[in-house]
Structure 1
Amino acid sequence: MKSHVHKARLRAAIAPAALVLTLGGALVATPAIAQEATVAAPQVNDDGNPRGEVIIVTARRRAETAQAVPLAISVIRGDSIEATGNFNVVKLQQLAPTLQVYTSNPRNTSVNIRGLGVPFGLTSDGFEQGVGIYVDDVYNSRVAAATFDFLDVAQVEVLRGPQGTLYGKNTTAGAINITTNQPTFDFEGRAELTVGNLNYRQAKAAISGPLSDQFAARIAVAATSRRGTLYNVTSQRWINEQDNLGLRGQLLFKPTDNFSLTLSGDYSKQDPECCGTVFVRVGKTQRALNRQFDALAAAQGYEPPSRDPYKRLTDLDSQLNATNKIGGASLRAKWDVGGGTLTSVTAWRFWDWKPANDRDFTGLSVVAKSQNPSQQDQYSQEFRYNHESEKIDYVIGLFGFKQRIYTQGTEQQGVNASKWVLAPSSDPFAPANNPATLAGLTASNTQWLKSTSAALFGQVSWKVTDQLTVQPGARLNYDKKSGFYQRIVTNAAGAVISCTPIPEPGTVAGGSSACGVYQPQVSAPSDSAWNFTYDFNVNYKLARDVLAYATYAKSFKTLGINQNGLPLNADNTVNYDAGTVKPESVNHYEVGLKTQFWGRRATFNLTAFRTDIKNFQATVNGGQFGTVRGYLANAGKVRSQGVEADFKVVASDRLTGYVNGAYTDAKYKKFDNAPCPPELSGGTLQPIGAVPDYSNAGVPGTLSPRQCDISGARLPGVSKYALSYGAEYNIPLTLLAKEGQIYAGVDGNYRSHWNSNASPSAYTDVKGYALTNFRAGFRGQGIDVFGWVRNAFDVKYIDLLQVAPGNTGLIAGQPGDPRTWGMTIRGQF
């Protein structure tokens, strides 16, 4: 704890810098890496008018108002998250326009900011996140390990732009920083219950208080369940349900005012029957017409249960499961010493993933089994020291990280595979007409990854004058990755097959049919790299409530290795050169203006940015079932640029509102050797060295380019225009002897169209959509009761489209949630 003199100086500094918040569904665009934040009591101006609440952040390792920190971030309060029903990371994009979160299952979840972050598509363990996810100072290395429900959250900060000179793991696109409520020495508690349609049930509870003069504890629990949104006519069950449980416990030891020690532990489990898809459409490829979806389906007497995805019918015949166990423990120490604060964060986290999927997206047994269970342990240690003075503030830190991942995959062909995968023939004895040709063919994958990272980082803030501040930062980073991948292929009899001209000892010849689907493979990529990066920020206070800033950052994303198998060369041999992927080199430019006016009841912030990346790490997919399922490659150049604007107002004690918008132009500047989209795939490959011919897109039986130049195409998953908004109006009321207010609120978001394939395709374009939510209720004296409707106008939209393997033209997808409604009651003491 700081001295009384320092606290007085802090109060004097923040008093004139109130930040406007909407009381329900608030989104506050602020410029900070908010590690810990508190919300002060409502403030009033000199004329007695309301001016919102003060958000305190520690972006530069000291407490200050959010509007005073010259970086771009959206701050979302915990009560706003609860009021709007955005209870996990996936849902946050409805509140933060520059955030993109897409998921086909917890493991295959991509979180991007401004279109950058992780490669869009199947997840590989061998790359780093570009968007870091932190919970109470602890870095979560995999997006899948952060798909838990928010539990007892104080607030969430979505940082935009490169981070890394202040703490933790380096991130090139931004960070999501989650701060939970901490133990208190005053007894307090809260409980919440929500019920709704689709058998929706959610319960939350938290209690905190002293155990002695020096010890305090906090315990929180949350459980969520909901019926699925898709009906599987094969299993006669609703699938894609929610079944989540979360627990967190914290113990605070504070023997003196200048030292504290917090021990935290958490565990969460998701165990739904998930994640299935529905038929969306068929797009013509360059495969022979009799080998495309409609012909293949007709040949086996198959028809999807519906060709309208919004009927929400599927017929998947393979087992579905998405069991996700996440947890860990951390020990955080803070010691005020030498005029500054020394912080140590020691953490261990685990992730246990047990999936089962239907990889052919149909009711036929083409792929009978597809599952890649995975287990991860990560260990991290961070030391930071931050110091404040009249002219110079600084932070310096050390970060160490170690990760181990083990995966055991199985993919097996079913009885319908031969006719679906192999070339058709009128000969009744041809391989395609014999189900036994491929049925039971199994690829068993074993892989592990060991990753080590260490960094020295620091940042200095020099107050040249009362108005001008110069803020340089630097980071020295070391990364090492070692991986192993082995695929063993067995036939229906369990014999190990070989695809070499002369079978290896102990194996049998696989034959062209089996080897065309799965090939044995062993690889052990390993690499290491040092990186030095830096940033430089200049900010100037143009007036009391007007701050201008400019930032340049030279950043990187470290090297990657391919962990899901390697692609094949033209002669069908393994391309071992693809084992490692070059680091990304990032140049980032940003300017911003942060303002408050109308007696500080209104806040308007504006940001313009440009990010240039060389050797962009992209996920590419060859379209086959198992041979080249998905791997990392470097695109030459990528650029993301745009403008973000955030406006919020406290018009009166009764009315509040916000509007946040973003324009994002994210595209490949140079990617001339990309995989081709479905309409340019599936045919016999053009001759080696031939100039790619793109003129026969979607024409069956024509030649397909070996690779495509998609330079100038937009990055996948990015809407050019995005908007979120909200407003709330209240009226004072005494109800059942409780003074409070009745209120009504609305919030919504809009996203323009975007593409759902790494190489943009006409078949995977997702139409833009707008969602609107309403709520109304009563709050007062420790109680809040409200009803809500989400997607009130029952808009039909797609969350994600996926290209089915095999170049058959099948496009499957996951429709977004329909209209849902319910009621929440919340009490606290």
Structure 2
Amino acid sequence: MSLALIPLLLLAGGAQGGPHTGTDPEAAPAEAQQDAAPSGEILVTARRREERVQEVPLAISVLTGESLAESGAFNVSRIQQSQPALQFYSSNPRNTAINIRGLGAPFGLTNDGIEQGVGFYVDGVYIGRVGASTFDFVDVQRVEVLRGPQGTLYGKNTTAGAINITTRAPSFTPEVRYEASVGNYNFLQLKGSASAPIADDTLAVRISTSISNRRGTIYNTRTDSYLHRLDNYEVRGQLLWRAAPNLDLTLSGDFNLQNPLCCVQYYARVGATQRPLNRQYAALAAAFGYAPPSTDPFDRKTDLDASINSRQEIGGASLVANWDLGGATLTSVSAWRYWDWKPANDRDFVGLPITTVSQNPSQQKQVTQELRIASNGKNRLDYTAGIFLFHQTIDTQGSQVQGPAASRWLLNPGNVAPGAVGCATPTANACNPAVLNGLTSRNAISFDNSSFAVFGKLNWEALPKLRVQPGLRLNYDKKSGSYVATVTTGTGSTTLNSDQRGVLAPQSYSPRFSDWNVSGDVTLSYDFDRDVHGYATYARSFKSGGINLSGLPLDANNSPILAAVTVKPEKVNHYEVGLKTQFFDRRATFNLAGFWTEVKDYQATVTNGQLGVIRGYLANADKVRVRGFEFDSNIQPSDRFKLYANGAFTDAKYARFRDAPCPPELSGGASSPANCDISGQVLPGISKWAFGFGGEANAPVAEGEVYLGYDGSWRSRFSSNPSPSAYTWIDAYSLSNFRLGYRKGKVNAFAWVRNAFDKRYFELLSVQSGNTGLIVGQPGDPRTWGFTISGSF
């Protein structure tokens, strides 16, 4: 039991106050909450207290459990369609990035030593590893997407925003919920939950579970199997104990198992680089007589020859206590979580034995403790204050093994005639498969991360309708790590020649980082009318510094450059103004926000042209600037019809980055620049324009209603490489989802089709390491269709 709970249990019996009235609903009974209140009355806990969403002076979107189910958004990846300012990228669960307004996590493969910039919370518990956010939603009451820095209340690593998920709490009224879906590609998804009292009005339990299965959408001709499948299982349990009339405790536990064989990338296109022609993709493939199964990536065929696996376990337990003191509520959130990742990848992206093993099994454990106090009600002066402790360990066992095709693919065959596919001399290392065959790097990586913070926020009604809301947070970080790469040849020797060291170089270093940081914000809000609210915010925020734990770049002697061992904290200055309005008796909502964010020492994942470098390393870009505006709107003129439209314009650029890695078209040649000035160019992964829109119409039939719903999205083109490349732009695309169903009472049955027009689009594009010119892609899902029935009793 958390030490923070001991005084709560000792004193609760003698505390003054009536029935539970705490403002933090993290352990509140389910009957006190709703998926969505009447129009305009959605309640959120974005500021660690229960408030009407329209009165919260920040840019926030709310997705209810009902809307998630009907739109098919059963995980974070799928909610981005209706949230234009949200970006989600995943080349596999570990290599996942959640960004808001183009900021958050570096675009590229995960580095253990860096933290995310979008906070991810489930029932008040901070999830310290972004890969652990890929679980399926089950029994979710609502998802809040908070845009802009949230550092005062949500912590150091929320420079871009936060995602706050609230699940349904145990209920003292017995209930059962169910949902079953079937579809093409053998899709099957089952969800269920049950809640009931155990002991009158003092003890209640809730159990929830979910199973998702789907055949893969990409066919591997080499293994006669389908990749990019779904195979997920989740169970969650909660026990609510009203220990006293003014003290609630909720004990929660969850377990998630996923094995999706997912997120494969394969041939998308080829572009020219500065390498000699005989070392670019066309000549290298010709040297082996190799051709991919198809040069049209939307044939959805590949021939990857290495093992593919994306198995992960996610789980943990938490204890949340809310103690009503009358004028304030004291909340304790204690949690332990773990994440166990067992991957296998084909990181050469072709059906040749170049890199036969590339994997980084990883285990993370974290312990968190938050203790805060918040005033109750809405007073002239409200406050929230607290402390937060976080400890995380990560242990990763990386391995990379080169195969018999590696020598010819990766090494220089010498000067040969243009278009020739052979070697200048038979003795060239490139013509000797044994030089690199079996070359192995085994990487032992460890990371220890401790953090402590104290924080506070005031909400002062300085004048009628005018509120001043300052906040401050003091944070301390201490990080240490170890990276040891042991390289052996195919014969087991640790003695390497220059070509072997140029592909896989042994490294050993132990980085350290510690720092104090102060962040804060101040918001002025004004109530122009009951349903018209304006606000202006300035925030000074930061993201903790990091340490490179994916190997360091090498110098001319193939030795690691130790100066690159750490990266500086990001320092953020953020300005935002917003207007939140409702009209037509709250049947229509229109919210508008404009923002300007500048990030100094922006943490970027960068790559270089070294042969065997699959993973990038971390570096600081001098300055990044993101500015834009967003709107959220919906209207329900009658009970028979409703519409929504959300949009975002985001201008995200490197304001100053003079020593960035060059894009592939400028790399690989003897005269290629060592680095490039990409100042003024766009950040990866962010569209300048993005929209989400849709609606629903219904008509009464047989004591129920028939309805037709639509959800659509459109986003403009975006760059899929940290340094913008002509070869890695992803074209603009739109997606359309339809549903046709019947509701009666608590039963809802509907047919659905997603990506109805079978749009061909990429989720991301990547560059094959070594600048061969091969561009690989991960296509989005094709058209899917199916049927869902859900209900409760």
**TM-score, normalised to structure 1's length?**
0.90
Is 1:652 aligned to residue 641 of structure 2? Answer: no
What is aligned with 2:409? 420
Give distance in 2, aligned partners of 1:429 and 1:63.
74
Is 1:549 aligned to residue 542 of structure 2? Answer: no
What is aligned with 1:126? 113
Give distance in 2, aligned partners of 1:33 and 1:635.
41
**Relative to 1, partners in 2 of residues 1:66 and 1:4: Cα closer, same or farther, differing over 3 Å?**
farther
How far off its partner does 1:275 sit?
Answer: 3.2
Is 1:227 aligned to residue 195 of structure 2? Answer: no
Give distance in 2, aligned partners of 1:492 and 1:569.
25
How far off its partner does 1:319 sit?
Answer: 0.3
What is aligned with 2:7? none
2:405·2:437 contact (CA, 8 Å) conserved in 1? yes
Larger CA deviation: 248-257 vs 546-555:
248-257
Instruction: Determine which of 387, 400, 407 is the counterpart of 2:389.
Output: 400
How far off its partner does 1:6 sit?
Answer: 10
What is aligned with 1:59? 46
Is 1:372 aligned to residue 360 of structure 2? Answer: yes
How far off its partner does 1:624 sit?
Answer: 3.2
1:35·1:59 contact (CA, 8 Å) conserved in 2? no
What is aligned with 1:314? 302
Is 1:208 aligned to residue 172 of structure 2? Answer: no
Give distance in 2, aligned partners of 1:726 and 1:351.
36
1:40·1:53 contact (CA, 8 Å) conserved in 2? no
How far off its partner does 1:278 sit?
Answer: 2.4
Is 1:287 aligned to residue 285 of structure 2? Answer: no
How far off its partner does 1:257 sit?
Answer: 2.6
For residues 548-627 of structure 1, what are the structure 2 equivalents within 5 Å? Answer: 548-627=534-613
Instruction: Determine which of 135, 149, 152 is the counterpart of 2:136.
Output: 149
What is aligned with 2:655? 669
**Relative to 1, partners in 2 of residues 1:166 and 1:275: Cα closer, same or farther, differing over 3 Å?**
closer
What is aligned with 1:18? none
1:33·1:157 contact (CA, 8 Å) conserved in 2? no
Is 1:772 aligned to residue 736 of structure 2? Answer: yes
- How many residues end up aligned between the 2 structures? 766
What is aligned with 2:417? none
**What do the CA deviations read for 1:602-644 (whole angstroms, capped 9, x no partner)?**
1100000011010000000114353473110000000100000
What is aligned with 1:476? 474
What is aligned with 2:82? 95
What is aligned with 2:238? 250
Is 1:520 aligned to residue 506 of structure 2? Answer: yes
**What do the CA deviations read for 1:89-139 (whole angstroms, capped 9, x no partner)?**
111111111000011000111110000001110111111110010000000
Give distance in 2, aligned partners of 1:819 and 1:434.
46
Instruction: Classify the secondary structure of the residue corresponding to 1:165.
Output: helix
Larger CA deviation: 624-633 vs 590-599:
624-633
- The code of the aligned residue for 2:525 comes to N
- The code of the aligned residue for 1:107 comes to R
How far off its partner does 1:378 sit?
Answer: 0.4
- The code of the aligned residue for 1:467 comes to K
What is aligned with 1:504? none
Give distance in 2, aligned partners of 1:280 and 1:59.
41
Give distance in 2, aligned partners of 1:34 and 1:290.
62
How far off its partner does 1:516 sit?
Answer: 1.2
**What do the CA deviations read for 1:471-518 (whole angstroms, capped 9, x no partner)?**
0000000001101000000111122x2xxxxxxxxxx3x112211101
Unmatched segments (≥5 aa) in structure 2: 1-11, 414-422
1:381·1:399 contact (CA, 8 Å) conserved in 2? yes
**Relative to 1, partners in 2 of residues 1:339 and 1:461: Cα closer, same or farther, differing over 3 Å?**
same
What is aligned with 1:432? 430
Instruction: Determine which of 667, 682, 691 is the counterpart of 1:723.
Output: 691
2:441·2:487 contact (CA, 8 Å) conserved in 1? yes
Instruction: Classify the secondary structure of the residue corresponding to 1:651.
Output: strand
1:726·1:747 contact (CA, 8 Å) conserved in 2? yes
2:280·2:773 contact (CA, 8 Å) conserved in 1? yes
How far off its partner does 1:352 sit?
Answer: 0.3
- The code of the aligned residue for 2:205 comes to A
**Relative to 1, partners in 2 of residues 1:804 and 1:374: Cα closer, same or farther, differing over 3 Å?**
same
Cα RMSD after superposing both structures: 1.9
Unmatched segments (≥5 aa) in structure 1: 11-31, 44-50, 498-507, 685-702
1:661·1:722 contact (CA, 8 Å) conserved in 2? yes
Give distance in 1, aligned partners of 2:634 and 2:751.
24
What is aligned with 1:805? 769
How far off its partner does 1:3 sit?
Answer: 6.5
2:27·2:321 contact (CA, 8 Å) conserved in 1? no
**Relative to 1, partners in 2 of residues 1:40 and 1:627: Cα closer, same or farther, differing over 3 Å?**
closer
Larger CA deviation: 419-428 vs 155-164:
419-428
Instruction: Determine which of 751, 757, 760 is the counterpart of 1:793.
Output: 757
Give distance in 1, aligned partners of 2:184 and 2:271.
35
What is aligned with 1:345? 333
Overall identity of the aligned pairs, in %:
56
Give distance in 2, aligned partners of 1:802 and 1:262.
44
**Relative to 1, partners in 2 of residues 1:39 and 1:212: Cα closer, same or farther, differing over 3 Å?**
closer
Give distance in 2, aligned partners of 1:457 and 1:209.
37
2:156·2:544 contact (CA, 8 Å) conserved in 1? no
Instruction: Classify the secondary structure of the residue corresponding to 2:519.
Output: strand
Give distance in 2, aligned partners of 1:199 and 1:332.
39
How far off its partner does 1:145 sit?
Answer: 1.0
What is aligned with 2:311? 323
- The code of the aligned residue for 1:475 comes to R
How far off its partner does 1:743 sit?
Answer: 0.7
Give distance in 2, aligned partners of 1:61 and 1:295.
60
**Relative to 1, partners in 2 of residues 1:39 and 1:252: Cα closer, same or farther, differing over 3 Å?**
closer
Give distance in 1, aligned partners of 2:160 and 2:570.
12
**What do the CA deviations read for 1:752-808 (whole angstroms, capped 9, x no partner)?**
100110111010000010000000111112211100000001111111111111110
How far off its partner does 1:579 sit?
Answer: 0.6
How far off its partner does 1:596 sit?
Answer: 0.7
What is aligned with 2:399? 410
**What do the CA deviations read for 1:10-56 (whole angstroms, capped 9, x no partner)?**
9xxxxxxxxxxxxxxxxxxxxx999989765988xxxxxxx725211
**What do the CA deviations read for 1:372-412 (whole angstroms, capped 9, x no partner)?**
10001000000010014631100001000000000001100
1:414·1:440 contact (CA, 8 Å) conserved in 2? yes
How far off its partner does 1:277 sit?
Answer: 1.7
**Relative to 1, partners in 2 of residues 1:787 and 1:799: Cα closer, same or farther, differing over 3 Å?**
same
How far off its partner does 1:338 sit?
Answer: 5.1
**Relative to 1, partners in 2 of residues 1:611 and 1:633: Cα closer, same or farther, differing over 3 Å?**
same
Give distance in 1, aligned partners of 2:278 and 2:344.
30
- The code of the aligned residue for 1:306 comes to S
How far off its partner does 1:428 sit?
Answer: 2.0
What is aligned with 2:5? none
1:589·1:611 contact (CA, 8 Å) conserved in 2? yes
Give distance in 2, aligned partners of 1:155 and 1:417.
50
How far off its partner does 1:68 sit?
Answer: 0.9
Is 1:74 aligned to residue 82 of structure 2? Answer: no
**What do the CA deviations read for 1:669-710 (whole angstroms, capped 9, x no partner)?**
0000001110011112xxxxxxxxxxxxxxxxxx21000000
2:27·2:240 contact (CA, 8 Å) conserved in 1? no
Instruction: Classify the secondary structure of the residue corresponding to 1:166.
Output: helix
Instruction: Classify the secondary structure of the residue corresponding to 1:806.
Output: coil
**What do the CA deviations read for 1:167-198 (whole angstroms, capped 9, x no partner)?**
45541100011100000110001111100000
**What do the CA deviations read for 1:528-551 (whole angstroms, capped 9, x no partner)?**
000011100000111221111000
**TM-score, normalised to structure 2's length?**
0.94
**Relative to 1, partners in 2 of residues 1:766 and 1:34: Cα closer, same or farther, differing over 3 Å?**
farther
What is aligned with 2:711? 747
Give distance in 2, aligned partners of 1:358 and 1:627.
14
Instruction: Determine which of 259, 275, 283 is the counterpart of 1:271.
Output: 259
Give distance in 1, aligned partners of 2:216 and 2:397.
28
What is aligned with 2:4? none
